[in-house]
Amino acid sequence: MNKKNVLVVDDSAFMRKMISDIINTSSTLVVMDTARNGQDALAKVKTLKPDVITLDVEMPVMDGISTLRAVMKEVPTPVVMLSSLTKSGADKTMEAMSYGAVDFIAKPSGSISLNIKDIQAEIVKKVEHATQSNYNLVTKPVPKVNNLTYKPILSSRPIVAIGSSTGGPRALQQVITQLPSSFQAPIVIVQHMPRGFTKSLAERLDKLSEVSVKEVEDGDIIEKGKVYLAPGGKQFRVKEVNQQFVAEVNQEQPVNGHQPAVDVLFESISQLRNCHPLSVILTGMGSDGARGIIELKKKHPRTITISQSKETCVVYGMPQSAEKTSLVDYVEDLENISEVLVQKIPKKR
């Protein structure tokens, strides 16, 4: 089997060696070369044409963001960012995701992580997945929304629940930033992401959107026209208290490897009595959310379920698993999903 070629980019010689050794343990990957900064990397990408790049966020001469933008413009290639767990690192990583990075890896202990081997399995898995991703979406022009016509739902208590994973930050930006400030439903989201990064994602979406976006906290009242993002490392549920939707956020055990998990959020909404759920499954690896869709449809047969089309997914795993339940009502290109939601939710009378 032909192995996929990887270019490792990091300003630390130690990190280049450690990351290369980790990647070379994969049966499907081989490190073809390394680069010490973005300028060096860009020259090597043009000549070597790697299948995937691991790219440090913080580098001298030409940083990771500038390098990513240049790569996507000149030689589009799947990129996995490596970031420190600082606030600055998280903010820059979310920016990188919006420019087309497939995924990111959080270094466990700063820019030079002596314990990088602790996340060996995660590094190998994410780089392997990147080689299978539909990364070139970022270079395609965004198509105009079709002339969609959907009947609005009749319930007075709609709630939108969204699940996403690999490629999700960019997909969420596409959906959430297109919603009007007058949107008449609350939106609750699980995006697979480690702690620290979800807050940066929420802040970025909030700055770019008409609706307000926050990282949800335990006890928050879930209000219409507002977006609540599950914090990394905690499970997020919605419960009903005194006829209000209220957030329940706890650190628990992962469910099928995920914390937060889409299934946990969706299943909690299935237990609400007076509501009309709209569930949305965006790009992501795996099958999280499929079981939750089954529970939603069982308890609330009028639940509307939307999945992102294969053609617009960075990774088609989660939407494909949702569609295999035969309970998905609409398969839509990413660019159309916000319009479907707007048409489905009745406007304020």
**First-to-last C-alpha distance (Å) of the chain:** 62
Per-residue pLDDT at 84: 82
Q: Are domains 4-139 and 158-344 of this chain identical in fold?
A: yes
**Average confidence (pLDDT) over 157-176:** 96
pLDDT for residue 141 is more than 90? no
pLDDT for residue 332 is more than 60? yes
Q: Which of 183, 192, 202, 205 is nearest to 232 (CA)?
A: 192
**Average confidence (pLDDT) over 282-294:** 97
Per-residue pLDDT at 314: 93
Per-residue pLDDT at 266: 98
Q: Which of 249, 189, 190, 245 is nearest to 222 (CA)?
A: 245
pLDDT for residue 144 is more than 60? no
pLDDT for residue 125 is more than 70? yes
pLDDT for residue 86 is more than 90? no
Q: Mean pLDDT across the chain, nearest whole number? A: 92
Active site residue 276: no
List 133, 165, 270, 338, catalytic entry = 165
Over the stretch 215-243, which tens digit does the pLDDT of each residue have?
999 999 999 999 999 999 999 999 999 99
**Average confidence (pLDDT) over 157-177:** 96
Active site residue 83: no
List 40, 51, 192, 338, catalytic entry = 192
- Give the residue extent of every domain in the chain: 4-139, 158-344
Active site residue 288: yes
What CATH code would you report for 4-139?
A: 3.40.50.2300
pLDDT for residue 122 is more than 80? yes
Per-residue pLDDT at 155: 67
**CATH superfamily of domain region 158-344:** Methylesterase CheB, C-terminal domain (3.40.50.180)
- Asked whether 218 and 249 are in contact (CB, 8 A), the reply is yes
Largest separation between any pair of C-alpha atoms in the chain = 64
Over the stretch 11-33, which tens digit does the pLDDT of each residue have?
999 999 999 999 999 999 999 99
List 288, 300, 309, 321, catalytic entry = 288
